[in-house]
Structure 1
């Protein structure tokens, strides 16, 4: 019994690692860059409209992932319930859109 207690006492204590502002600054700069790319694609009049839509949708999706991962901290452990809720919401929205399109085209 004494050996177990001394072995536990000799292990270094694990500290909660504090996330510094570096990751937040990187996420903020990345968000700004994605927003500037989207504005530049719309501002440039000589770009094909379809290509502009593709750029806008891709920048929006990247922006969503950056926001969820860095600002909402869904990349960290312990956010399974929130992640499951978001996935369920995405499934419901896609189902509703597909059903609405099917209903209109029928």
Structure 2
């Protein structure tokens, strides 16, 4: 990308910083570790069921954040609109689930 400096009239060249495979490898390893923790919690067997369910939910949320951040590149600049639409969809889905549960138990 080339930028023209208005004060001195010189041209400044800026290079787009490339993201190397290191971050993708780290994200992949983190995803594998999260999956292994989830499997180990279920295979343990003697653990409280409520604790296992909560641990699985936490692992699922962390997995989603890793997937969206690194594989879908939502951590980069210029991705605010997709993030807002996903947040809106999450809000509408949550509201629908709450309304359905309320309607069933009322």
* Structure with the bigger percentage of strand: 2
Measure, in 2, the Cα distance between the counterparts of 1:44 and 1:5: 65
Measure, in 2, the Cα distance between the counterparts of 1:5 and 1:86: 39
Larger radius of gyration: 1
**1:47-72 alpha-carbon deviations (Å, 9 max, x no partner):** 11000001100000000000010000
Q: What residue number does 1:24 align with?
A: 24
Shift of 1:6: 8.4
Q: What residue number does 2:37 align with?
A: 37
Measure, in 2, the Cα distance between the counterparts of 1:32 and 1:102: 37
Shifted more, 23-32 versus 79-88: the winner is 79-88
* Structure with the bigger percentage of helix: 1
- Paired residues in the alignment total 102
RMSD: 1.6
Q: What is the TM-score when the length of structure 1 is the normalising length? A: 0.90
Runs of 4+ with >4 A deviation: none
Q: Secondary structure at the match of 1:39?
A: helix
Matches within 5 A, 1:92-103: 92-103=92-103
Q: What is the TM-score when the length of structure 2 is the normalising length? A: 0.90
